[in-house]
Amino acid sequence: MPSRKTYKILAKETDFYDLLVSELRLMNPELVTEYDMESLEITMKKKTKPQILDIDKAIENLQRNLAIVVSVLFCALADQRETINQFKEIDNQIKMKK
């Protein structure tokens, strides 16, 4: 999904900049002392409606992704079991040497 368009303006370019900074000072005094209020931005993202153009294709993609995730988890578990078995073998070998 493409990223949404973002519109940014510097807060200091607005008529309500001083009011905004004073409100921030009331909410949390550390913000005004520790952060640069000159760099304060107002950001808006364009509204987008979620769309599924081809429901069958979307379901197919979800099934494929699920299959990949399951196979990766299965491989990870198999590797973990093999590692545990290797540790058990090493432990048995150490016990036999004693």
Question: What digits encode the pLDDT tens for the residues 19-71?
Answer: 999 998 899 888 888 889 889 999 999 888 878 888 999 999 898 888 888 88
CA distance readout (Å), 14 to 8, 11, 47, 69: 12, 5, 23, 48
- pLDDT digit string, tens, across residues 71-86: 877 777 777 777 767 6
Q: Is the pLDDT of residue 1 over 60?
A: no
Specify the pLDDT at position 95.
64
| DSSP 8-state secondary structure symbol assigned to residue 16 | T
> Residue 12: which pLDDT band, with cuts at 50, 70 and 90?
very high
For all residues of the chain together, what is the average pLDDT?
83
- DSSP 3-state of 39: helix
- DSSP 3-state of 31: helix
Specify the pLDDT at position 18.
92
Specify the pLDDT at position 2.
61
